Structure 1
Amino acid sequence: MVLKIFALFLLIFVQTSFGKYEQYQGYTVYGVVIRNQDDINFIQRLQSELDLDIWRAGMPGARHADIMVGPKQREMFVKHLHAQGMEYYIREGNVASKIKNFDEDLIKWTKSRQNVEVYNKYARVAEIDAYMERLAREYPNIAKVVTAGLSFEGRPVKYLKISTTNFEDPSKPIYFMDATMHAREWVTTPVALYTMHRLVESLRDEDRDLRDNVDWIILPVYNPDGYEYSHTDERMWRASRSFNPEIHEECRGVDLNRNFDIFFMEINASSNPCSSLYAGPYPFSEIENRHARDILHSHLDRIQIYLNIHSYGSYILYGFDNATLPANVAQIHTVGAAMGAHIDGSKLPNMYDYLIGNSRFVLYPASGTSQDYAQDIGVPFSFTLELPDMNEYGFLVPPQYIPQINSETWAGIAESARLASIFYRARR
């Protein structure tokens, strides 16, 4: 019976996963050599003009850009690069095949293992919620599950609160992190779940201060509708799944990291509802962002760090995207640099070192981001963490790398929490 059930599961998985890659037939990922800031600006203009999908923005003299181009845009894209005198190469010639191979390898990996911890695999929303409920049930004096509300499609948006004092001690700073704002960035969710694991059910003596002296809010699946859709229908789906036929009869979703009420629609965002950078009809049009906003404001007097976890690139970024800097930028950079150094100390030797700095200049400018919003309303340390750049894997990180990414990122998270706590107590 067990074998029959597993065979049925595999059949369903194969049938649904086919839809995840068939729409990428003819798509190519180009590597583009970035020489200077003008090249970055040029790529951003092309992104809007040709509706390109930038996987990695690149950095002058350090990292090439990765850009996915559809068959209808390929000729014009290459023509523009030639006109600009930019060097390029094919990084992945068949995106559909790459996704298909990823799915097949994931099936084999899953079949060959039993009882893999939820934080060491690509779990679905139901299993993730069940894990948080179990932690709250088994550790009621430490952990509590909260439902922020429902997603657009009616899924509960749940997060875990971790505290030894029931969130009632004002002398303790709060660390608020979220993951999977962009649906296709699967590898971000295990990091959030592993943080729960280390703080609740596997606390080590050297980390006891992180639970005793800090309260935690961890939202592991920010965008549950998009996340589920990327599992069942379209692997590279990025946005939410909201739908308003009065705006467009077919196109769905909003880029949740362009929808916050800060510099809305000023740069690197789109008013086209079919664009992957669509910012929405107005700030906070997306229910998922309103949930995050409400969490921030409910604890604004104590939230010391907000960490918005993305993939990929090996970056730790801070505001602002309008080319200004927060008043405490020296402290922000200190905490960010310490986080990056601790991750680098544990990373695989062939991976990039983390780059730390203002998001506009280290990565690219963007308007309406959660990072800038949290900083603007008064969170002292607001960061975007881009998890490791795994070279040829892009967003399709094999699950066998998850434990490594979890452990190295935890080292950085732990250090950032300690430093932020020092600054919190110093200003009280």
Structure 2
Amino acid sequence: MKVLAILFLVVAVSAKHEKYLGWKSYYLGPSTPGQMKAIGQLISEYDVDVLGHPVIGYEGVALVKPEVHDAFLEALQMEGIAYRVHRDDVKAALDQDDVLIERRRRENVARGGREMPYDNYQPLSVNKIFHSREWVTVPVVTYAIHKLVEDVTEPDLLERFDFVILPVVNPDGYEFSYNSERFWRKTRSTDTHASSSRCPGVDGNRNYDFFWNTVGVSPSPCDDIYPGNRPFSEIETRVVRDIIDEYLHRMALYLTMHSFGSMILYPWGHDGTLSNNAFALHTVGIAMADAIHDHQLPHYQPYTVGNAALVLWYGASGAAEDYAHLVGVPLSYTYELPGFSGTWDGFHLAPSAIEQVAKDTWEGVAVGARRAGDLFVTLKK
């Protein structure tokens, strides 16, 4: 009976990711600013999905559809951009991921483990930041809740601050990526375009009212970076907007969690210009990165801290951290959580690696909160 149970699991897993038959993923290793700009153009031209952002000195990961595969690689060669295979069979890699997740879940149950584990991915049913597919962000955020209400080792944080925490901002998209289409990143709305019933959803991190629909977006609702038909068209982004508005008068720090790339990014992300708080943004960002680095395992990539558009070499309008900063939050950041170089881990960490990332990230959050509190009075003047 035990053998049959395992067999049934493998059969069920194999049928789940049919969409990704023939898909491949590649490491991209730009070495010059010109190549960084070229990658941004090629990503748009060939509708390539970026799982991890490449920067000079660190490889990123690009997911390539079979119909554009050969043309995309030829374009990389023409630009002299170094690349190598990340996964030759994306579907097979996703099938194996599912086996590992289920195995870890069974192990947790067998040893009477936590209902909401921090060493595995968390389905929406036990959870009830932004892109739905970036699963590692959820245990990282729920671990922060754990540190604030259960394992309270920094009581000063509760004495000094109130925390507003949204583990899942895009529940419909998260559940769809968990159960149906692993790399789904948008919401699931069907009312923003004539073709929305065929191509549902909006990129939530292009939907905020900050230079909306101007840079790094697509007019097609079928594309992953479709910004919607108006700012805040999505209930998910309106929820975040309303929370920011409610607490703005005493909000010192805004963090949004993404994966992956080991980056702490700050405004302005549409064109690379710097806000009046740029010095504070950079120094607090460095303090958070240093705190993470002090606790990281040595094989993790160190964090890069900087302006979003300058680090990534392309602009994107309508992003959450830009909107929060625009309306008055002094310190606003996007975390791109870390991954391992040379493995599938990163966008999809092995369950055994998740808890370490959650612990490391908490160290950065704690330092960021303290620094934000110290600077709050000055920055809000």
TM range (shorter): over 0.9
Other structure's SS at 1:299 match: helix
State which of 30, 35, 59 in structure 1 corresponds to 2:31: 35
State which of 276, 289, 314 in structure 2 corresponds to 1:340: 289
Give 1:252 shift.
1.1
Give 1:9 shift.
12
2:19 is the counterpart of 1:23: yes
Relative to its length, the structure with more strand (as a share) is 1
Please name the residue that 2:369 is paired with: 417
2:134 is the counterpart of 1:182: no
2:173 is the counterpart of 1:221: no
2:53 and 2:175 mapped to 1: Cα distance? Answer: 26
1:88 and 1:76 mapped to 2: Cα distance? Answer: 14
Other structure's SS at 1:113 match: helix
2:7 and 2:189 mapped to 1: Cα distance? Answer: 30
Please name the residue that 1:73 is paired with: 68
Give 1:10 shift.
9.7
2:53 is the counterpart of 1:104: no
TM-score (norm 1): 0.82
Aligned residues: 370
One-letter amino acid of the counterpart of residue 267, structure 2 = G
Q: Residues 380 and 101 of structure 1: is their aligned pair in 2 closer, same or farther, counting only changes over 3 Å?
A: same
Give 1:128 shift.
1.4
Deviations 1:321-378 (A, max 9, x none): 2221110111111111100000000111011111101000112421110011001110
State which of 41, 47, 62 in structure 2 corresponds to 1:45: 41
One-letter amino acid of the counterpart of residue 102, structure 1 = D
Deviations 1:10-35 (A, max 9, x none): 95x76764454211111111122202
1:119 and 1:420 mapped to 2: Cα distance? Answer: 29
Please name the residue that 1:301 is paired with: 249
Please name the residue that 1:165 is paired with: none
Coordinate RMSD, CA, aligned: 2.0
Other structure's SS at 2:164 match: strand
One-letter amino acid of the counterpart of residue 303, structure 1 = M
Identity, % of aligned pairs?
Answer: 36
Is the CA contact 2:101–2:121 (under 8 Å) kept in the aligned structure 1?
Answer: no
Please name the residue that 1:116 is paired with: 113
Is the CA contact 1:19–1:234 (under 8 Å) kept in the aligned structure 2?
Answer: no
Please name the residue that 2:80 is paired with: 85
Give 1:210 shift.
0.2
Deviations 1:307-326 (A, max 9, x none): 00001111000000222111
Give 1:87 shift.
2.3
Give 1:86 shift.
2.1
Is the CA contact 1:316–1:383 (under 8 Å) kept in the aligned structure 2?
Answer: yes
2:197 and 2:266 mapped to 1: Cα distance? Answer: 37
Other structure's SS at 1:67 match: strand
Please name the residue that 1:380 is paired with: 330
2:318 is the counterpart of 1:403: no
Gapped regions of structure 2 (runs ≥ 5)? none
Other structure's SS at 2:17 match: helix
TM-score (norm 2): 0.92
Deviations 1:196-255 (A, max 9, x none): 111112212xx1110000000000001100111111101111111111362344111111
Is the CA contact 1:47–1:53 (under 8 Å) kept in the aligned structure 2?
Answer: yes
Gapped regions of structure 1 (runs ≥ 5)? 130-178
State which of 207, 211, 221 in structure 1 corresponds to 2:158: 211
1:409 and 1:248 mapped to 2: Cα distance? Answer: 36
Moved more, 294-303 or 418-427: 418-427
Other structure's SS at 2:61 match: strand
Q: Residues 268 and 99 of structure 1: is their aligned pair in 2 closer, same or farther, counting only changes over 3 Å?
A: same
2:78 and 2:260 mapped to 1: Cα distance? Answer: 29
State which of 146, 150, 175 in structure 2 corresponds to 1:197: 146
Please name the residue that 1:292 is paired with: 240
Is the CA contact 2:299–2:340 (under 8 Å) kept in the aligned structure 1?
Answer: no
Give 1:112 shift.
2.2
One-letter amino acid of the counterpart of residue 328, structure 1 = N
